[in-house]
A = this chain, B = another copy of it.
């Protein structure tokens, strides 16, 4: 393509899960969205923010969100960066926190956007394959001089979590920057947040897309040592998070009751889904997230994916080693899960 630079020509495009325009046509269990809407308090705050003040630029640093998150987590606002989705944090890290000739590393399989974004920013990287138990082989990340490592915890698409002690040991040995992408952490019990006070080489990212039911709003966070946060602020576009998104994120952080209710519902449904899958003979990776990575001993993942799609149920299927044995199913509502299980049981019986 004329005018594309080499990097753009060569990079692999990221293909997000299918997003049908008509949300009612499909049961959509393919992009780890929350099956329940944002809480009434959040929707009300959002509506209130749709006012004449929109003619004004937003606060450049989403100051109120920074302060509230910091207060809730016994940090200072200088440890918190608000982004247009956690994707923006990754892009900024590749641009400002690794030299153009540096080397990054990511587990494989993991969130494919890490690879895409490294390529889009011209950063070379290694993929470190998960071990036999689908765990992250941390020692492998110490064998070369990596400048930037991103792990998802819990990992996507496996749903496995890493205990904080293991991350702590790694940070102590590692000379580069470790990013722990905690997009799914609210469905888990362990966060690496306390490590921020101990290490200056860990960056934690969070998302409002999953546990806060706000995938449509695009808000993410980075939490790290204040020098890292200052660099992210220096590098970002001047107004990266819009007024309404700031209001929504603030309200979501405030509404702890709505949040806890949502999380417990998702956990209950996940338990039901895991049991129902087991009863059909599926082998699932024990999930710390809001999705289940599962395979069947007799029916291929690809066939499951395709047949479900014919039945208007979208789940995620990834090509490639390890991944292609599995489908990834987002935890839905009970009605969605029941329909899924009915169709799966028909497929399996042939």
Contact = CB atoms under 8 A, between A and B. Distances in A.
Contacts of A213: 54-55
Interface stretch (A184-192, A229-237, A278-286, A295-303): A229-237
Contact of A50 (B2, B14, B43, B234): B43
Interface string A92-131: 0001111110100000000001000100111000000000
B218 A242 contact: yes
Contact of A216 (B34, B35, B53, B215): B53
Given A97-B8, A244-B216, A31 B3 contact: no
A7 B238 contact: no
Interface in A115-167: 117, 120-122
A331 interface: no
Contact of A56 (B33, B56, B91): B33
A57 B37 contact: no
Interface residues of A, number: 81
A99 B122 CA distance: 10
A31 B5 contact: no
Most chain B CB within a 10 A radius of its CB, from A8, A36, A43, A216: A216
B216 A56 contact: yes
Contacts of A5: 96-100, 102
Q: Specify the main secondary structure of chain A where it touches its partner.
A: loop
Given A177-B3, A201-B3, A52 B31 contact: no
Interface stretch (A68-76, A80-88, A315-323, A334-342): A80-88
Copy number of this protein in the oligomer?
Answer: 2
A8 B98 CA distance: 10
Given A5-B100, A8-B96, A11-B234, 8 more contacts: A1-B230, A5-B96, A5-B97, A16-B239, A19-B57, A33-B57, A55-B216, A57-B209
Interface of A: 1-8, 11, 13-14, 16, 19, 21, 23, 28, 31, 33-38, 43, 46-47, 50-60, 63, 84-85, 87-88, 91, 95-100, 102, 113, 117, 120-122, 177, 200-201, 209, 213-218, 227-228, 230-231, 234-235, 237-245, 248
Closest 6 CB pairs of A and B: A37-B52, A216-B243, A8-B96, A46-B50, A54-B216, A55-B213
